[in-house]
Amino acid sequence: MSRNQAATAVLGFLLLLLTIGAVVRQSRQPAIVQITPTLTGRPELCLTCHQGIEEISASHPQEAFGCVLCHGGDGLALDADLAHAALRGGSAAETTGNPSDLAVVEESCGGSACHGGTAENGRDHIHRVLTSVQATYAGAIAQVNYAFGQQPDATARWGVFAVQDDVITTNTGVPFLAEFSPGPNAPEAVHVFDQDCQLCHVTAVPLAQPYFFRATGCAACHMVYENDGLYRGGDPTIAKDEPGHARSHQLTTAIPYYQCNHCHNRGNYSLRQMTFLERDDLPGPHSLSAQAQRELDYYQPIAQFTLCEWELDCVDCHTNGEVMGDGDIHSSQREIQYIQCQTCHGTLTALPLLTTIDDPEHPAIISANLNPNYSVTVGDTVIATAQGETFGWVQWDGKRLMETGKVDGRLYEVPLIMGSACQQQPDEQESHYCHECHAYEREIRD
Amino acid sequence: MIPNMSRPNFFEHLHPPTIPAREARFRYTFGLGGMSLLLFLSLVVTGVPLMFVYVPTAVSAGEAIRTITYVAPYGWLLRNLHYWAAVLLVLMGSLHLLRVALSGSYKPPRRFNWLLGLIALLFSLLLSFSGYVLRWDVDTFGALTVGANIVRQTPLVGNWLYELLVGGPLISDVTVVRFYTWHTLGLSAPVLLLLGWHAFRVRRDGGISHKNEIGDERLQNTQPSISTPRSSHLPRISRRELVQREGVAMLALLCLLLGLALFVDAPLAPQVDLVTGPAKAVTASIAAPWFFLWLQALLRHLPPVVAGIIIPLAVIMALALLPWLWDRSETGTAVWLNREGRLAQIVVLLITAGIVFLTAWELWG
């Protein structure tokens, strides 16, 4: 064999191998899953990799919304880096690919037809959250500034970001907040507060520790994280053993108490030391029953609870308007917390305020449609609040007031003050008045 | 049908019955010209199928590239082959130019063919640039923006050239169609003809070196001429041997090309949004395609007219006039690093060093 022939044979064989390699690679290409969401009309291949991911919610069906409308990114790229390069709210590589982060929420969830509308059409969710104390942190900032002599009263002047409100509807609303930054002459404590204490609002990324798992923005509340931060859904690309993922890719209004606890019951802060004192009694022993674990979760050394305060979930009492705000910028969460014992239990002489639903478009029905655990239909009589909100999950059946747990669907009969031995006066609405008789004796049972 | 024995066909013209063994030595030419030709043909073969999928509009171009890359069967392979063939063509074409300059193959009677080759190389660079733009992502959009604005800096005809290139005052659908048409027809067809002519002229000019076949240094001063009779006592190789050697080089190149296409994917950046595209692209650190990084380095430090127009034109002129300006010898001596061509060799090496240095500076500086 001549040199040319030998080289031809070797190279020909190599070329054959490479050709086989190309065929093998083609055969390993993923089977394309393409959808064309009706709202965008543009094809997306995301489900090729994310096949099995939960639909985000019944209100955002995959066929209509797809993925890109909310998440951004490159819906036609099947290379993870390229596909995720322009994701809203951080790339997936940073594990915070969260389109509801308040920095991008207007792009992802906004628009007047979605959640960036007006109070009149009930679509002002983004404005309400942006101005709420949960986002601005204005209450804590005002309190600390006031306590350390940096402002003459406790009225909010600063937030973690600047925000303004052109339409003030309450007498405690302030027109705008400037972005908080302690002055050069501010006491050390205020500087420490600025550096260390900015984790407690929905724009901040929380501590990356068990019990603190949550996202930012809308997802901080509406995307449930388990205490261990592990994903339990069906998307094969999300690690099941890597903490820091939501329970599943689903928005919910059935927000369990532990989601709130990820911020609100994981410790306490010391103003004197200007430090956060993390609870050290979690998790409880493995042998604890679910109820005992729940009691333990709720337990705060200085706190007392009535049965309803820990047996129900937070969202059974605290309303949309309280939690997400009323669209005004307030100086303290107290200014918009108005749910009292009498909202459900009535007074010595009166039943709670009740209203009968007469409109199929009533907010009580719309809210009920977003929650799998209770329903409201025209003709139902439900609790109304002084502010005009309704508790569709607490219904008067003619004789009794029945509450359906928004999170677990459990049915409770709501005890009424009228006709009972309770002597609570209408002006004694703070919980400590209830605790005098009804403080629940917790025992952490095995 | 009786074959016309008196006139060789094009293939036979390129492969005469025998050629001097010296000219067929791999270490004399490294086969760079032939391999460039094969790469160009590969580009045509892989490019035509891509044309069936590519949609030349501002909105759909990015989508079409993704369809090719991720959805169409073997689309990834075609695109990778097309990409790597283009990269190798620029490299091998440039090395071919360097080889011709350093071995004196540009000398008469091959001066005209030097010009043909140079034009083909320049067109190939424009082809590569237009192909890069047709990727239509944030990186290539940056290159297009910069490139189009350099064109606008041209004295007197700048605005006219810009509108000719972009198809209006702003980058739009028309721009994509312009680049698409230049790429698939306006530049590629002339290059195909130029390369055919270039190869044809190699034989018409009497081979690739046309050194006097007696071959010794004493005869170098003899006036060469196409009619100089070939001496028969020097070793020659047959057509069969030549084709076999070319076959080996072709197989080796195809292995390299397929290997690269199989294991290294052609780059792709996020899709361009015509509203936000320019702002994003300007912030990108590297916008130019790799073969124009040296120009980008110049642009960072010199006025656009100097860096984008005067210097490139000067380089082109210095190369085009090489056989007339830097080496006026008429001997036709095609020997590596021959003494007559010293000045021409220095000029070409300086240009090469400058381009390599500027590219490295831009990449790692």
Copy the structure tokens of residue B355: 């381009």
Place of tokens 């195909």: B192
Q: Which residues of B touch A18 (CB under 8 A)?
A: 255, 258-259, 262
Its ipTM equals: 0.88
In this structure, are residues A225 and A232 in contact, taking their beta carbons and an 8 Å threshold?
no
Tell me what percent of the residues of chain A surpass a pLDDT of 70. 96
Is pLDDT of B275 > 70? no
DSSP string, A382-436: EEE-TTS-EEEEEEE-SS-EEEE-TTT--EEEPP-STTSS----TT--SHHHHHH
Residues B360, B355: Cα–Cα separation, whole Å: 9
Interface of B with A in 70-89 (CB under 8 A): 70-71, 73-74, 76-77
Which residue has better confidence, B284 or A375? A375
Type of residue found at A36 = T
Q: Give the gap in angstroms from C-alpha B177 to the nearest C-alpha of chain A.
A: 22
Q: Do A8 and B268 touch (CB under 8 A)?
A: no
Residues A123, B233: Cα–Cα separation, whole Å: 95
In this structure, are residues A72 and B271 in contact, taking their beta carbons and an 8 Å threshold?
no
pLDDT digits (tens, 9 = 90+) for A398-435: 999 999 999 999 999 999 999 999 998 888 888 888 88
Interface of A with B in 11-40 (CB under 8 A): 11-12, 14-15, 18-19, 21-22, 25-26, 29, 32, 34
pLDDT digits (tens, 9 = 90+) for B344-360: 999 999 999 999 999 99
Q: Which residues of B touch A77 (CB under 8 A)?
A: 66, 69-70, 268
Interface of A with B in 190-219 (CB under 8 A): none
Angle among Cα A425, A426, A429 to the nearest 5 degrees reads 95
Nearest CB to B77; choose among A22, A32, A43: A22
Q: Do B77 and A26 touch (CB under 8 A)?
A: yes
Query: Taking residues A76-102, what's their average pLDDT?
Result: 79
Angle among Cα A346, A367, A97 to the nearest 5 degrees reads 125
Q: What is the overall mean pLDDT for chain B?
A: 88
Lowest mean pLDDT among A395-409, B201-215, B220-234: B220-234
**Nearest-CA neighbor of B292 among B131, B164, B101?**
B131
Helix (H, G, I), strand (E, B) or coil at A277: strand
**Nearest-CA neighbor of B76 among B290, B256, B267, B254?**
B267
Q: Do A76 and B244 touch (CB under 8 A)?
A: no
Indicate the angle between helix axes B111-134 and B75-102, nearest 10 degrees: 150
In this structure, are residues B159 and B182 in contact, taking their beta carbons and an 8 Å threshold?
no
Q: Which residues of A touch B241 (CB under 8 A)?
A: 4
Is pLDDT of A92 > 90? no
Lowest mean pLDDT among A53-57, A422-426, B96-100: A422-426
Is pLDDT of B280 > 60? no
Copy the structure tokens of residue A288: 């604890």
* Length of chain A measured in residues: 446
| Upstream peptide bond of A187 is cis (omega within 30 degrees of 0) | no
Q: Do A82 and B269 touch (CB under 8 A)?
A: yes
What are the C-alpha distances in Å from A309 to residues A298, A318, A340, A402, B287? 9, 11, 12, 17, 60
**Nearest-CA neighbor of A157 among A134, A181, A185?**
A181
pLDDT classification of A301: cutoffs 50, 70, 90:
low
Residues A333, A338: Cα–Cα separation, whole Å: 10
Nearest CB to B262; choose among A8, A22, A78: A22
Name the pTM for this structure. Answer: 0.84
pLDDT classification of A244: cutoffs 50, 70, 90:
confident
Q: Write down the pLDDT at residue B221.
A: 47
B249 touches chain A (CB under 8 A): no
Residues A436, A93: Cα–Cα separation, whole Å: 52
Residues A128, A126: Cα–Cα separation, whole Å: 5
In this structure, are residues A409 and A340 in contact, taking their beta carbons and an 8 Å threshold?
no
